[in-house]
Amino acid sequence: MKLLRRRLLASLPTLFAVITITFIIVRAAPGGPFRDEKAVPEAVRANIEARYGLDEPLAVQYVKFWRNLLTGSLGPSFQHPERSALGVLVGGAVPSLILGVAAALVALLLGLGGGTLAALRPRTSPPVSAVALIALAIPVFVLGPLLIRLFALELGWLPAALWGSPRHLVLPALTLGLPVGGALVRFWRTVLTESLDAPECIAARARGLTDLEVVRLHAAPRSLPLLLNYMAPMIAALVTGSVVVEKIFAVPGMGRYFVDSALARDYPIVIGATLIYAVALLVVHTMADLAHARLDPRLHREHNR
Amino acid sequence: MICSRPTACVIAAILLAWTAGCGSGEEHTGYVGRARPPDRPLLRIAQGGDPAGLDPTRYSDQPSWRVARLLFEGLLAFTSEGRTTAGVADGWSSNSEATIFTFQLRPEAQWSDGRPVTAKDFVFAWRRVLDPEFGAETAEGLYIIKGARQINSGKADPQSLGVRALTERVLEVELEHPDPEFPIRTALPSFFPLPPEHVAARYLDWPGGLDPVCNGPFVLDRWLPDDRLIVRRSETYWNREAIELESVVFFPLADPNTTINLYRAGEIDWTTANTIPMDQARELLRRGAPEVHVSSVYATYYLELNTVREPTNDPRVRRALELTVPRESIAEGIYGTGHRPSRVLVSTDLPDWTAPEVPAGDSETARRLLAEAGYPGGDGLQPLVYLYNAGGPHGAVAEFLQGAWQQQLGVRLKLIPMDFASMEERGRRGDFHLLRSSWLADLPAPVEFLAVFQAGNPNNLTGWEDREYDRLLEQARHVLDPGERNRLLRTAEERLLNDAPIIPILHYATVQLIKPYVVGLTPNPLDVIGWAGLRVNLEWRPPR
Amino acid sequence: MSPSGAGSSGITPLNALLLIIVIGGAVAAVFGPQLLPSQLAGGIEPLALPPGAGHLLGTDSLGRDMLARLLEGMRTTLFVGLAATLLALVIGTLYGAAAGLAGPRADETMMRGVDVALALPFMILVILLVSLFGRSMLLLFIALGLVAWLPLARVARAGVHNLREEPYLEAARMMGGSRGYVLRAHLFPQLGAPLAVYATWMLPVVMMQEAFLSFLGLGVAPPRASWGTLIADGVARIETAPWILLSAGGSLALWLIALHLAGERLARRLNVHRTTGALERTTAAGEPDGGEATA
Amino acid sequence: MTAGMKLTDVRVYYSSSEPVLDLPILEPEPGKITVIAGPTGSGKSTLGHAVAGLLPFMGARAVGTLHLGEHALPLDSAKKWRGICGKLVRWIPQEPARAFTATRPLLGQMLEGIDDDLKVNEQLVTLLEVAGLPDPPELSRSYPFEFSGGMLQRAALVSAFLPDPMIVVADEPTAHLDPPRSLDLARTVTRLVRQASVTLLWITHDLRMASAVADHVVFLSEGRIEAEGEPGLLLDPSRYEPLPIVYASARLAQPL
């Protein structure tokens, strides 16, 4: 599809920029990798730097980095030298993706459900908004411990942390999804309320459609472009939140060691992780655009012609 | 319609749910959370992170060492009390100068592929650690072996290393200088043997994601990075009869609150050194919970002072600062899980070691010294730049010192939290007045601490150098009598503390939680585990 | 336009309460630290005390009065938040207005640039920047501001686009007003309302981001406190000193909720719709969203 | 199908305490076209909403009842209207062209809320013919944006006469059209009314149009009935006192 190709082409400069900016930022940072609490003699450090090519001029390293990248390699991770950085990242990306999707579902379910309810039944709007506001105003790193305290330690219904089964997914997904869901409630309520006042929705009412039919057939399609636009910041919020949530719940994802890798100057991991985040966000953007094009026949037909 | 009423209700409900939970039941049972053994002989361990890798000789982080000691065994091994015992070697001897050591390897020691462990395996592993091309960060640990430093600098042939396999089962080691304690060193993972025929194939990155062939009490079952690492009992370990645990699971948990939550939920049996929140550990200690174990550790928290830059180049300023550190408040108030305030560098827990006298004085003395240096009441002093690596209680210590020195001496501090790499770089440039530091000894020997301030040691950022100090240390290395050696070292430490390029603050301690059904696990200063005899009492139930 | 919402733009008790919380919090943050010393004096034991007679909100883990710490933390966070929001407003407005006034081609390019930038994992870069280059308030608010201006550029551009249709602008231009004059005299005053509303939406976001960075250990450097560092401290001591989290987290939540609601009312009053303009984006095919149904 | 309809004791309020509509009683003649005329703000659109059962969705407070055959429908309840709204009563909005969502095929939207497929099908073909619109298969493939405004307006009209409503309310359907098109539309409507024999309430401020189509005229001003009577009433200023003023305002709104 032409649109897809165009989006992909357009995203290449973005990726190039992300990689280059990240490369510059991490390499401009003071200090280097392989510095432990105990300093090692000069000879030992020289050996390490030679081994990882860190003794070469920065420009050469940059070129080599690109050459590696184009052959699908990021080199070894500095913190885990026996493993390739790409392997580390892919291993971490899978749980992160699962958690992210689960949290997005939580957010969408609560956000769209709550928003629709509040828009259709103005009387429910204050309590729904109140809950949404609270979800918004509690930082994830406070919400997480509170949920653990209640559901894992007091009630014993769910595991306090760790990974491996659907039950382990519940609390982290809630922690990550609730604040985003809260924001979505408020957004969707506003959007839908405006849409419901639109002429086509009033007309649909007059045709005798029920509340939900009006939303499903008219108000929601009308609001869809706005919702799709909202997805990108939403996903960005999830990605950022996962950095903390994965740590609190010991999820073996990539958000968890992003900060640690930066502190340890694990260059391949930091650049690779940033790259993966950028790709993920671009994919969401592109998917949103494609979905929009598909769902809106005006764009759809234009492209087929 | 007003939003604030339901809002208030929900907030109240959340707070209620939360406060209702505070201090639940634990006070009565005496146990920390759920105390119920697993259904099979299994030990679940929380540590702060994943091992860097599985090659025992290559890394120096505590998680790597802990795993390495499960999978591999050196010439000597440790008991659970932290004493050395026979490992792969069942006998050793040295010449009278303690410069040449001969180890006899036990015939029943074998690799997990069934091949016996031979002297050649050690020679291979040690040469590899020192190989410049391999670039191991642990190489310095082997510098005591003759020729090691030259080889590691690429100036000598690896074959020239002072290690020889006299026969399959006899290993001879020649040292740079006498060290009667050398056999203890061989219990450190950087001295462990490797199976050459497997390692040679992936020389730089062994085991590179594969299950390593190993010679320790356990073999790798599976490693799910960032999730868990599982080992199971080895079928080939020479002392396998003494190993009672079927498997051991390591959980890498970065967040101390997560660790204690999982311990409370009964999913962790042992939280290794300092992996739980300090405030909760303190609270549990106060309550006298029997699951809390405090152990000293051969480590010291100290500040490095810049002896090159004004005004800390003046020993009187340094002594004034040293005299007014509120050590008790820091050790007990900020730390407070067995940490002991201290004015000396070498851990006072070391066996057969007596700390030197440190010049006495109070805050009056300190003010006088400061005035003599030309800064009465802190007049004329710019704020001193204090670098520390953010994280843990280092910020709290810095803030506390800031308040104390301001009040007692009129000395102001400019606190600069940094990440470790940046701090090290800035420290190396000498762009600071005070810098937070600490030292952990791998072996119970005073020289492990004192060598840091010998000329040329990269860990000394103070710029302080003293010929006499270096001479005393060098002399002590050649003395075989322990009493005489310690006397020389004590004199050296006294010189160091008198000149005060550093301000020792406290000796560390570790705090760990061990479930009541775990038998034979004794926290010790070297933070090592003796796996023989360690078991989980599956029948254990809380007494009524 | 619900019946219940119709009357709520006046001074109702709730609105008054919201104003008191929002403004009172800000005033307390600005003037409170002068009245209560929040820094450590010597001779205090590092001990977290529960709320009591001497300390209304208890003390923090180093024995400092929690109320004083809280007021100072609020000041820091509000300063960082406002500075970042202001920075975002300035950059966003100028960029957006420039795009809106430029020709269609430049406009398209400039907004595509915003799209691209929005696709960058910006918060991740902020984490990276702060963790690599140390913790300073300046870096913090610049980094946060640089993230926040992007959506504002869209608001500003949409505003300009709407205004461009207005006849009086055309008239002003016909009468020989320079582009700068037109901007100053007509556009910026008109953009004031939506941007003010947007600022009230942005401030909480920026403040949450500050808190987030603090939890990662990337917030302001001690001895300075911020709302975020206090909450992070409270979370770490949630079991042994819950009052730290209660007062820091509770006050932040209360203030943010009040700000949200106040912003909502302001929006209603100024008749700014969240969905119009703000989130409008030219789609991939270049069609404006939700256009006329007629062909 | 013709049956009696009657509005009683209607008062509708928006934000202010003054009712925007205050009708003790209104009873249009069944099977005829009743024009509701009046200047902007006279409450005539609100009257349309009231009859169409839309008041609950407009954020209004309302009292009053619509009597429809044996049904008595309170104006402030959406629930009681279920099965009436869209079935017995249908409504044509001010801008019929905007009555449809752009992203779904037109025919589906025209038939929304109608379940009686077979009967409708027959009727639909006839009505589409009368209105000069394409056949159903074509309509089911096409999206609203592919039609002209006039066609969409007629589509909205057709939809309003399906399947067999008692009452159709047309809220200024010609407001956005030029005079020739208005007449065109008016003719279509008249034809549809005769075809389906429904009661039509035609809300407009275009007096000339009103006089052309009306069987009966109700004149609203400030929410109250000012005058009522024959269509001729509209064009004869001498017969009723306040009319010239209203007429003048109507003139201003749409110069003929």
Report chain A residues whose CB lies below 8 A from the CB of C260: 133, 136-137, 186
**Cβ contact D52–A217 (<8 Å):** no
Determine the 3-state secondary structure of A207 from DSSP.
coil
Partners of residue A200 in chain D, C-beta under 8 Å: 98-101
pLDDT at C156: 78
Read off the pLDDT of residues A43-68 as tens digits, 9 standing for 90 and up: 898 999 999 989 999 999 999 999 99
**For D161, nearest residue in chain A (alpha carbons):** A207
- Do the two chains D and B touch, given a threshold of 8 Å on CB pairs and at least 3 pairs? no
The minimum CA-CA distance between B400 and chain C, rounded to whole Å, is 7
Which residues in chain D are contacts of C295 at CB distance < 8 A? 145-148
Task: Quote the pLDDT of residue D152.
Answer: 84
Closest of D199, A47, C82, D95 to residue B131, by C-alpha: A47
Which residues of chain C are within 8 Å of residue B280 when distances are taken between CB atoms? 239-240
Q: Tokens representing B358?
A: 């440190």
| Strand partners of residue B224 | B228
State the first-to-last Cα distance of chain D, in angstroms, to the nearest integer: 36
Closest CA to C164 of C102, C101, C92, C107: C101
Residue B15 burial by Cβ neighbours in a 10 Å radius (0-12, 13-18, 19+): middle
Between residues B114 and C185, the one the model is more confident about: B114
D20 vs D22: CA distance, rounded Å: 7
Q: Where do we find the tokens 């992936």?
A: B202
> CA nearest D144 in C: which residue?
C293
Residue D74: which of D50, D96, D98, D103 has the closest Cα? D50
- Cβ distance of C222 and B19 shorter than 8 Å: no
For residue B395, which residues of chain C lie inside 8 Å, CB to CB? 222
Against chain B, the chains showing at least 3 CB pairs within 8 Å are: A, C
Check if the interface score ipTM surpasses 0.90: no
Residues sharing a CB contact under 8 Å with residue A230, sequence separation 6 or more, in sequence order: A184, A187, C279
What does the pLDDT look like over C140-179, one tens digit per residue? Answer: 888 888 878 887 887 778 777 776 666 666 676 666 666 6
A222-274 pLDDT, tens digit per residue, is 888 888 878 877 888 888 889 899 999 999 998 877 778 888 889 999 899 88
Q: How confident is the model at residue D40, as a pLDDT?
A: 77
Report strand pairing: D21-26 vs B247-252. Answer: unpaired
Q: Measured between alpha carbons, how far is A129 from A188 in angstroms, rounded to an integer?
A: 11
With tokens 């026949």, the residue in question is: A297
Task: Tell me the backbone φ, ψ of residue A75, rounded to 5 degrees.
Answer: 85, 180
Percent of chain C whose predicted confidence (pLDDT) is above 90 = 6
Say how far apart CA D234 and CA D247 lie, in whole Å. Answer: 8
Give the mean pLDDT of C202-214. 85
Cβ contacts of C41 on chain B, cutoff 8 Å: 403, 406-407
Instruction: Judge whether residue A36 has pLDDT over 80.
Output: no
Whether B224 has its CB under 8 Å from any CB of chain A: the answer is: yes
**Percentage of chain D surpassing pLDDT 90?**
0
B160-166's contacts with Cβ under 8 Å and 24+ in sequence apart are B161/B123, B161/B126, B161/B127, B161/B130, B163/B122, B163/B123, B163/B126, B163/B127, B164/B123, B165/B118, B165/B119, B165/B120, B165/B122, B165/B123, B166/B102, B166/B119
C281: contact with A, CB 8 A cutoff = yes
Sign of the Cα pseudo-torsion (A148, A153, A158, A159, in order): positive
In the structure encoding, which two tokens stand for residue A253, read together?
Answer: 């994802």
Name the band, by pLDDT with cuts 50, 70 and 90, for residue C184. Answer: low
Average pLDDT of the segment spanning C247-253: 91
Q: A touches C (3+ CB pairs < 8 Å)? A: yes
Higher-confidence position of C131 and B199: B199
- What pLDDT shows up at residue C8? 42
| Token couple for B280 | 């909760």
Question: Residues B60, B132: contact at Cβ < 8 Å?
Answer: no
Residue of A nearest to B15 (CA): A146
User: pLDDT digits over D129-172, tens only?
Assistant: 877 788 888 888 888 888 887 788 888 888 888 777 888 888 88
Contact A133 B17 (CB under 8 A): no
Amino acid B373: pLDDT: 95
For A296, the closest chain D residue by CA position comes to: D103
Chain A residues closer than 8 Å to D58 by CB: 202
Q: How confident is the model at residue A155 (pLDDT cuts 50, 70, 90)?
A: confident
DSSP per position, C155-167: HHHHHHHHHHT-H
Whole-number pLDDT of residue C6: 38
Q: Which residue of A has its CA nearest to B48?
A: A250
Look at C14 and B422 and tell me if their CB atoms are within 8 Å: no
Nearest CA in chain A to D80: A208
The helix (run of H) or strand (run of E) holding residue D11 is strand D5-13
Task: Name chain C contacts of A193, Cβ cutoff 8 Å.
Answer: 2
Both tokens assigned to A181: 């869901």
**Residue of A1, A16, A141 to mutate when probing chain C, most C C-beta within 10 A:** A141
pLDDT of residue C293: 25
pLDDT recorded at residue B3? 43
In which band, very low, low, confident or very high, does the pLDDT at D250 lie, cut at 50, 70 and 90? very low
Helix C137-164 / helix C188-215 crossing angle, nearest 10 deg: 150
Chains with 3+ CB–CB pairs under 8 A to C are: A, B, D
| Residue whose pair of structure tokens reads 């078991």 in the numeric block | B535
Q: How high does pLDDT run on average in chain C?
A: 75
Percentage of chain C exceeding pLDDT 70: 74
Q: What is the mean pLDDT of residues D230-243?
A: 58
Token pair recorded at residue A242: 């996962």
* pLDDT at B266 (0 to 100): 92
Residues 6+ apart with CB under 8 A from B210: none
User: Quick check: C280 pLDDT over 60?
Assistant: no
The candidate with the shortest Cα–Cα distance to B495, out of B475, B480, B479, B473, is B473
Q: Which two tokens stand for residue C151?
A: 């959506």
- Residues 38-77, chain C: which have Cβ within 8 Å of A? none
Instruction: Identify the closest residue of chain C to A297 by CA–CA distance.
Output: C293
Nearest-Cα distance to chain D for A204, in Å, is 8
Which pLDDT belongs to residue B414? Answer: 92
- Higher confidence at residue C10 or residue A142? A142
Write out pLDDT tens, residues C69-117.
899 899 989 988 889 988 988 898 888 888 877 778 888 888 877 876 7
Residue-level pLDDT, tens digit, chain B, 544 residues: 344 455 555 555 555 555 544 445 566 668 898 889 999 999 999 999 999 999 999 999 999 999 999 999 999 999 888 889 999 999 999 999 999 999 999 999 999 999 999 999 999 999 999 999 999 999 999 999 999 999 999 999 999 999 999 999 999 999 999 998 899 999 999 999 999 999 999 999 999 888 999 999 999 999 998 899 999 999 999 999 999 999 999 999 989 999 999 999 999 999 999 899 999 999 999 988 899 999 999 999 999 999 999 999 999 999 999 999 999 999 998 998 999 999 999 999 998 999 998 988 889 999 999 999 999 999 999 999 999 988 888 989 999 999 899 989 999 999 998 888 889 889 999 999 999 999 999 889 999 999 999 998 999 999 999 999 999 999 998 888 999 999 999 999 999 999 999 999 999 999 999 999 999 999 999 889 889 889 999 999 988 7
**B174 φ/ψ angles, rounded to the nearest 5 degrees:** -110, 135
Q: Which residue is closest to A123 within chain B, CA to CA? A: B1
Candidates C2, C7, C295; nearest CB to D148: C295
What own/partner pairs with CB < 8 Å and gap ≥ 24 does D107-112 have? Answer: D107/D136, D107/D139, D107/D140, D108/D140, D109/A204, D109/A217, D109/D144, D109/D159, D110/D139, D110/D155, D110/D156, D110/D158, D110/D159, D110/D162, D111/D159, D111/D162, D112/A204, D112/A207, D112/A208, D112/A209, D112/A213, D112/A217, D112/D86
Give the mean pLDDT of D13-22: 81
CA distance A222 to A233: 20
- Considering only CB atoms, which chain D residues are within 8 Å of C7? 15
Provide residues of A within 8 Å CB-CB of chain D: 196, 198-200, 202-210, 213, 217-218, 221-222, 224, 295-298, 301
Cis peptide bond upstream of B311, omega within 30: yes
Average pLDDT (A171-199) is: 90
pLDDT at D237: 54
| SS3 per residue for B477-530 | HCCCCHHHHHHHHHHHHHHHHHHCCEEEEEEEEEEEEECCCEECCCCCCCCCCC
Those residues of chain C whose CB sits closer than 8 Å to some CB in chain D are: 1-3, 6-7, 293-295
Nearest residue of B to residue C47, measured between CA atoms: B333
Which residue would you say has higher pLDDT here, C258 or D212?
A: C258
User: Are A278 and C133 within 8 A, CB to CB?
Assistant: no
- The pLDDT of residue C279 is 35
Could B52 and A134 be called an inter-chain contact, meaning their C-beta atoms sit closer than 8 Å? no
Instruction: Assess D100–C contact: CB distance below 8 Å, yes or no.
Output: yes
| Residue A301: predicted pLDDT | 59
pLDDT over threshold 50, residue A159:
yes
pLDDT of residue D1: 45
Place of tokens 């090659």: B55
Tell me the average pLDDT of chain D.
77
Do residues D125 and D136 touch, judged by C-beta distance below 8 A? yes
What 3-state class would DSSP assign to C191? Answer: helix
Q: Does the structure show a pLDDT above 70 at C219?
A: yes
| Contact residues, chain C, for D49 at CB < 8 Å | none
Cβ–Cβ under 8 Å, residues B449 and A38: no
In Å, what is the CA distance from C283 to each residue of A224, B167, C7, C95, D205?
12, 78, 37, 20, 40
Size of interface A-C (CB pairs under 8 A): 167
